[in-house]
C-alpha cells in the first residue's frame, strides 16, 4: 500500500473529500484481510471530526493497535542447553536466507550459534546455507545428501549440546507439492529434537513472503496445523508487495511477527516493531 496510500491521502486532502470506496478498495488490496479492511473503513467513517488530513493518523493508530506493544522475542537459552529454533516455510519465501540472517544477528549479539541444514532433499538449499555460513563465519552441521532431515537435526542438537552452543537454528524443507510428507517430516523433526530436550524446539518461526499476499496467510494456517508456530518472519518487505499480511495473520491466528526481512543482504533483517511496520505500510 505504501506509496499509493500516501498518494491517496494527498488526493483526499487536496479535494477535502474522502472517497470511502477508494479507501476501502486500497485497504483490501493491502492484504490486511477483508474483515479488517472493512472494519477500519467503518471505524473511520464513524469517527467525528475526521477529515482527509487526519485520516493517516487514525489509520495508523488502528493498525498499530492490531499488534502487541512488544513483539515476541526469542526466549533466553535454557541453562546449559541450546535454544532450538525451527525455521519453517514454503520454498522461495526466504527461509534459508532468514535462518542465516537470524544466526548472524544472534552472533553479532555475542551468542554462539550453530546452523543445521535439514533441507537434505534439495542439494541447492544445503549449499546455499553453507555459503551463508562461510560468508558470515557461522558453524554449520550438514547431513549426507538425502539423509533423514530429523536425523540431521538430532546430530546438530547433539553437537550443539556437546560444544556448548547457545542457539541451534534448523533450516527445514519447504516443498509444497508433497505437503503431507512435509508436515510429517516436521512432526518427526520435533519429536526427534524433544528426545534430547523435552522442551525443544523452543521456538518455531514461519517464514512468509510479503509479496505473496493472501497466500502467506494460507501458508500460516497450513503450517500451524502441522507444527505450532510461535511467530512469523515476514520477508521481502522491501519488495513490491503490500506487506499488510502481518495484520491478517495477527487478526486471524493471533501470531505476531518477530522479524522482518528487508533485503537480500545479511544485515537486511530487523526485529519487528509495530510503529516502524505500520509507518512502512502507510
Ligand atoms: P527458501 O527457498 O525459502 O530457502 O528461500 P531463499 O532463502 O533461497 O530465498 C529466495 C530468494 O529470496 C533469494 O533470492 C533471496 O535472496 C531472496 N530474499 C530472501 N529474503 C529477502 C528479503 O527480505 N528481501 C528481498 N528482496 N529478497 C529476499
**pLDDT attached to residue 21:** 87
Average pLDDT over residues 17-27: 84
Residue 163 pLDDT more than 90? Answer: yes
For residues 72 and 158, the model is more confident at 158
What confidence category does residue 71 fall into, taking pLDDT thresholds of 50, 70 and 90? confident
**pLDDT attached to residue 140:** 98
Gap between the Cα atoms of 101 and 154, Å rounded = 22
If you average pLDDT over every residue of the chain, what do you get? Answer: 90
Q: Quick one: 261 and 127 in the same domain?
A: yes
Which of 64, 92, 117 is at the close of a domain? 64
Task: Please tell me the residue having the least CA distance from ligand 1 atom 28.
Answer: 264
Residue 2 pLDDT more than 60? Answer: no
Q: How far is residue 189 CA from its own chain's centroid?
A: 20
Report which listed range, 15-24, 198-207, 216-225, 234-243, is most confident.
198-207
Residue 107 pLDDT more than 60? Answer: yes
Which of 37, 64, 91 is at the close of a domain? 64
Domain membership of residue 76 (yes or no) is: no
Domain membership of residue 23 (yes or no) is: yes
Q: Quick one: 100 and 127 in the same domain?
A: yes
Return the residue matching grid coordinates 535454544.
83
CATH of the domain at 246: 3.40.50.300
Q: Quick one: 224 and 266 in the same domain?
A: yes
Q: Among candidates 226, 258, 265, 237, which has minimal Cα distance to 31?
A: 237
Which of 64, 89, 108 is at the close of a domain? 64
Q: Quick one: 50 and 188 in the same domain?
A: no
Domain membership of residue 75 (yes or no) is: no
Grid cell in block for residue 80: 546449559
Domain membership of residue 69 (yes or no) is: no
141-153 residue pLDDT tens: 998 888 999 999 9
Gap between the Cα atoms of 60 and 187, Å rounded = 39
190-216 residue pLDDT tens: 999 999 999 999 999 999 999 998 899
Average pLDDT over residues 11-37: 84
In the reported structure, the alpha carbon of residue 175 is separated from the centroid of ligand 1 by a whole-number distance in angstroms of: 15
Q: Quick one: 47 and 8 in the same domain?
A: yes
Which atom of ligand 1 has the smallest separation from the CA of 89? 3
**pLDDT attached to residue 164:** 97
Q: Quick one: 94 and 201 in the same domain?
A: yes
Q: Quick one: 109 and 183 in the same domain?
A: yes
Q: Quick one: 54 and 127 in the same domain?
A: no
Structural domain total, the chain: 2
Residue 179 pLDDT more than 90? Answer: no
In the reported structure, the alpha carbon of residue 235 is separated from the centroid of ligand 1 by a whole-number distance in angstroms of: 7
- Whether ligand 1 lies within 6 angstroms of the CB of 128 is answered as yes
Q: Quick one: 25 and 53 in the same domain?
A: yes
Gap between the Cα atoms of 202 and 45, Å rounded = 44
Domain membership of residue 73 (yes or no) is: no
Residue 72 pLDDT more than 70? Answer: yes
Q: Quick one: 135 and 58 in the same domain?
A: no
What confidence category does residue 259 fall into, taking pLDDT thresholds of 50, 70 and 90? very high
Domain membership of residue 72 (yes or no) is: no
**pLDDT attached to residue 126:** 93
- Residues spanned by the domain of 33: 2-64
**Is this complex's ipTM strictly greater than 0.90?**
yes
**pLDDT attached to residue 118:** 94
Q: Quick one: 262 and 216 in the same domain?
A: yes
**pLDDT attached to residue 200:** 97
pTM, 2 dp: 0.93
Average pLDDT over residues 78-92: 95
- Whether ligand 1 lies within 6 angstroms of the CB of 92 is answered as yes
Which atom of ligand 1 has the smallest separation from the CA of 268? 23
Residue 16 pLDDT more than 90? Answer: no
Residue 186 pLDDT more than 60? Answer: yes
Which atom of ligand 1 has the smallest separation from the CA of 128? 8
Q: DSSP states of 108-143 as a string?
A: HTT--EEEEE--TT-HHHHHHHHHHHHHHT--EEE-
- Whether ligand 1 lies within 6 angstroms of the CB of 212 is answered as no
Domain membership of residue 25 (yes or no) is: yes
Domain membership of residue 187 (yes or no) is: yes
For residues 272 and 282, the model is more confident at 272
The sheet carrying 83-89 orders its strands as 140-142, 113-117, 167-171, 83-89, 203-209, 231-235, 257-261, 269-271
Q: Quick one: 88 and 57 in the same domain?
A: no
In the reported structure, the alpha carbon of residue 224 is separated from the centroid of ligand 1 by a whole-number distance in angstroms of: 22
**pLDDT attached to residue 57:** 85
Residue 132 pLDDT more than 80? Answer: yes
Gap between the Cα atoms of 70 and 256, Å rounded = 10
Gap between the Cα atoms of 7 and 1, Å rounded = 10
Amino acid at each position: 500500500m505504501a506509496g499509493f496510500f500516501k498518494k491517496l491521502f494527498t488526493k483526499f486532502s487536496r479535494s477535502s473529500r474522502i472517497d470511502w470506496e477508494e479507501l476501502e478498495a486500497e485497504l483490501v488490496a493491502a492484504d490486511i484481510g477483508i474483515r479488517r479492511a472493512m472494519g477500519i473503513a467503518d471505524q473511520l467513517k464513524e469517527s467525528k471530526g475526521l477529515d482527509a488530513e487526519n485520516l493517516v493518523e487514525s489509520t495508523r493508530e488502528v493498525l498499530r493497535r492490531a499488534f502487541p506493544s512488544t513483539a515476541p522475542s526469542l526466549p533466553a537459552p535454557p541453562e546449559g542447553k541450546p535454544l532450538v529454533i525451527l525455521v519453517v516455510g514454503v520454498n522461495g519465501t526466504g527461509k534459508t536466507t532468514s535462518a542465516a540472517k537470524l544466526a548472524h544477528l544472534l552472533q553479532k549479539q555475542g551468542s554462539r550459534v550453530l546452523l543445521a541444514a535439514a533441507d537434505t532433499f534439495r542439494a541447492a538449499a544445503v549449499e546455499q546455507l553453507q555459503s551463508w555460513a562461510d560468508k558470515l563465519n557461522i558453524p554449520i552441521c550438514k547431513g549426507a545428501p538425502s539423509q533423514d532431515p530429523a536425523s540431521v537435526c538430532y546430530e546438530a542438537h547433539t553437537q550443539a549440546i556437546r560444544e556448548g552452543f547457545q542457539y541451534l537454528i534448523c533450516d527445514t524443507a519447504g516443498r509444497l507439492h508433497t505437503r503431507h510428507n512435509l508436515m510429517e517430516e516436521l512432526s518427526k523433526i520435533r519429536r526427534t529434537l524433544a528426545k534430547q530436550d523435552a522442551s525443544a524446539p523452543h521456538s518455531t518461526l514461519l517464514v512468509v513472503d510479503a509479496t505473496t499476499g493472501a497466500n502467506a496467510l494460507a501458508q500460516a494456517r497450513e503450517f500451524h496445523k502441522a507444527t505450532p508456530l510461535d511467530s512469523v518472519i515476514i520477508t521481502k518487505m522491501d519488495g513490491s508487495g503490500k506487506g499488510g499480511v502481518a495484520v491478517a495473520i495477527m487478526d486471524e491466528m493471533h501470531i505476531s511477527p518477530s522479524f522482518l526481512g528487508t533485503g537480500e543482504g545479511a544485515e537486511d533483517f530487523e526485529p519487528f516493531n509495530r510503529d516502524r511496520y505500520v509507518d512502512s505500510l502507510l
